[in-house]
Chains A and B, each alone.
Chain A
C-alpha cells in the first residue's frame, strides 16, 4: 500500500481540525507526504465536518471519493454512519459512541443507539466503538473527546506517523489543567485501542 486515506469526521466544534492537523504533522515527521483537506466556514457551526487526510509517498489529489477510505475516525456516532460510504470494502471504522442531536425541534431521541451499533456491526468487521465522551468527561473536560479519538487513531495509524512526535505535540495543546487533561485523554485513547487490539494499517 503506497498511501492511506482517512476520513476524520464529527460535529463542527468538536476539534476535528486539530485532530487532523496533528495527525498530518506526525505523518510529516515520519517523512511522508500528506494532505489534509479541511472544512471551514459555515459547516463549522455545529454541522457535519469531514476532513480528508491522505498520507503516503506520492499524493496529488486533496480529496478521495466513496469507497476509497482505509479508515474513518468519528467523534460522534451518527456522523460515523454518515461516512460509512467512504469506506473501502475492508475499511476500518473507529467511533465515539455518543450521539449529538442537532437543535432541530422533534429530532431528539429519534435514534436508538443499539440499533445504530447493530447496523454498523452487521457491515464493518473492523469496527471499534469507544465511549470517548464519557472518558473525557470523567477526566474533567468533556471537550477532550477529540483527544481520546486521536489516541485511538494514533494506534491504528502507527505505521504512518511518528507517535513520539505526536505525544509531544498533544501536550502542547492548551495550558495548565486543560493541557494535562488533553494529554491524559490522548493516553487513555491509546490504551483503549491497544486493549481492543485494533488493526494497524
Chain B
C-alpha cells in the first residue's frame, strides 16, 4: 500500500513506509511545494508525493541537485507557500550554503527540510550526523522517537516552522525512512500557498549591513525557540526513579524495549526526546529533578549528551552523565546495544540472547551487490577492461589510466572482474578528482566515470574547469536515462518530469559541446566492437592532444527496459547456450560476469543461462567467441532492440 491508495481517504489505517508517512503528514499539513534530489534513504518522500501531486494540486519536482531543491522550496516558503525539501544526509552538504543563510532570513510559511541520515552506511559513503548542522546553522532539529508518530510529527514540524517563521530540520535515520508502520490517517488539507511575493530586501538581501542585524536577531530568536520547544507535544517525561535515561530520536524506541527485556521499565525515569536541537532546557531541567545519574542513548555523535552536559555545568548540578562511554559511536542502534548500555549503567547482570548458532560455516560465500543482469554498464566495463588490458600489454601496467568513479550503481566497477575504480568520493567527485590527477600525475591520464543524473548534479562545473584549464581528462558518461540506484526517478535525460509531464531532454553531448569539449561521441555499449574502438580512440586523443574528451555510453537501465518491454505486452526474449558449440571457455561468466550465466556444474564448465535471472539483453550472444549463445525467438529480439536503446 502506498500513498496513491490512501490519498482519497480521510480516516482509517494504512501500512506506510516511514517516508510515505512523512509525505502523508505533509499532505495533511497542507503542503504546496515539494522538491528533492533522490538519495537513499530519503527518496520515497518526494517520490510518493509526486504520485499524488496532480490529484491534490501540489507542485512536486525532482531537482537537479540538493542545492537547487533547497533553494526552490526555501524561496517558495518565503513567498508564503508551505514547502518541503528532502535529501539524504550528504545531500545537505551540497545544500549547506543556502541552509545557513535561511536561518538568517527565516521564512513566511512552514518550511521543513527532511534530512535522512544513514547510520551504518547501508547506502552511503559516510555516517555524518546532521543534527550537528542544526547546532551550527541555528535551525531546530526534530526527530521521530517511534515509527507510529512519524506522520503526526511531520505535521507538527510544519506548524512549528510557521509559528516561529523559521526553517525546521526533520531528521530521520534509515530505520525510520525504510520501515513500514501502521498509520492512522487524518483529513487532507488544501495546499497552503499565497501566490504573491512581497518585497522585503532588508530581510532577504544578505549584504553585510543587513546580515549583521539579522545575526543579532537570530541569536535572540534561538533562545525563544528553545523555550518554546519545552512544551513541544512529542517530548515526554515517563515513569519515575532516581535515574534518568534519555532516549533521543529512534533510540527511544530501542530504550523502551531494552527496559522491558531487562524487566526494569518501572524503575527508571525516561525522557522521550524528539526535539534534539536546541535542547529544551526547561523540560530537561524538570526531567533531572531528584536524579542522581543520567544515560543518554543516541546514535552517532553525542549531540544531546554535549548539550545536556553543558546544562548540568551551567546549573551547577552534581549529576553523573553517561552516554557515548557506554553506548558507543559507531553504526545504528540495536536492541542488544541498548540493553548492554542500560544494563551496565544500572549495574545489573545481562546475558546476550542465546540463539541456535553464532558462527557461520565456511561454505557461506560473500554476496556483495553487483550489476544486474542486462545492466548497460557491464558491456561498457567489459570493453574498457579489455581495451586497457591491451594497452597495458603494449606499454606497461604502470601507465594504466586512473579510474575516478562517482556515486551510482556504476561504483560496482570496483569489483572483479572489472577492477576499475581507483577513487569514489562524492557526487561529481569523478570529474573533480580527474582535474587534480591531470596536473599532478605525469604518466597516466584520469578517466572520469559518471552517470547521467550525477553529471547534471555536479559534473558540469568541473567539466568546464577541465576545458578552461585544458586538462587531459577522458569523461565517460554512463547515460541509462534514469536515476537508477535510488529506484528509477526521472532526470533531465529521461524526457518526463516527477509528475509524469513530458519534458525537454537536456542532452549530455550538447552540454559537452557547449562547454567547449572538442571530442564528443555517443554510442550503444551493447555494440562491443564499436565501443572498444571508441574507447581506444578517445584514450589516445586525450593522451596526445592533452585536452578533455567526453563520450556518452547510452543504453537503458535493464530494470527499466524489462518494465517497458512487459508494458508493451511483449515477453523478454529467452536465450540459451548450445551445448554442442560451447567450449566452456568461461568468458561469459568470468570476464563478462553476467549473474544470469554460470557453468553447468563444478566439473562441466560449459555455460548455462538461468531463466529466473536473465533479462534477455542479448549482449552475451555477441561476445561469445564461438557463437554458442542464441535467442529462442529471433523475431522477439528485433522487437525489443529499440527499447533497450531508449
Contacts and interface: CB of A to CB of B under 8 A. Distances in A.
Nearest to A38: B178
B334 A63 contact: yes
A84 B365 contact: no
A60 B146 contact: yes
Contact of B175 (A33, A62, A102, A115): A62
A76 B148 CA distance: 32
Given A105-B417, A110-B365, A115-B363, A62 B370 contact: no
B623 to A, nearest CB: 14
Residue of A41, A87, A142 with most chain B CB atoms under a 10 A cut-off: A41
Interface in A28-61: 28, 33-48, 60-61
Interface stretch (B22-30, B302-310, B348-356): B348-356
Residue of B176, B365, B417 with most chain A CB atoms under a 10 A cut-off: B365
B257 A60 contact: yes
A80 to B, nearest CB: 10
A82 interface: yes
Contact of B409 (A45, A88, A105, A133): A45
Contacts of B122: 39-43
A48 B368 CA distance: 7
B318 interface: no
A63 B599 CA distance: 38
A48 B360 CA distance: 15
A20 B181 CA distance: 12
A81 B364 contact: yes
Contacts of B254: 60-61
Contact of A81 (B337, B361, B586, B598): B361
A195 B182 CA distance: 33
Interface in A73-124: 78-79, 81-82, 84-89, 91, 100-112, 115-116, 119, 123-124
B336 A65 contact: yes
B253 A37 contact: no
Contacts of A25: 1, 15
Contacts of B361: 81, 119
B357 to A, nearest CB: 5
Q: How large is the interface on B (under 10, 10 to 19, 20 to 34, 35 or more residues)?
A: 35 or more
Residue of B182, B252, B417, B610 with most chain A CB atoms under a 10 A cut-off: B182
Interface string A125-138: 00000000100110
A13 B368 contact: no
Nearest to B595: A103
Given A42-B40, A67-B355, 10 more contacts: A37-B175, A37-B179, A42-B409, A43-B369, A60-B146, A61-B335, A65-B337, A84-B355, A103-B370, A104-B593
Interface of B: 1, 13, 15, 17, 40-41, 43, 122-123, 146-148, 175-176, 178-182, 250, 252-254, 256-257, 332, 334-337, 352-361, 363-372, 409, 412, 415-417, 485-487, 586, 589-590, 593-595, 597-599, 601-602, 610-613
19 contacts: A12-B369, A21-B1, A28-B15, A38-B17, A40-B40, A40-B487, A47-B370, A61-B256, A61-B335, A67-B352, A79-B367, A84-B360, A87-B357, A89-B354, A101-B365, A102-B366, A102-B595, A108-B599, A115-B363
**Nearest 8 A/B pairs, CB to CB:** A41-B123, A67-B355, A109-B602, A67-B353, A41-B40, A142-B612, A47-B369, A60-B253
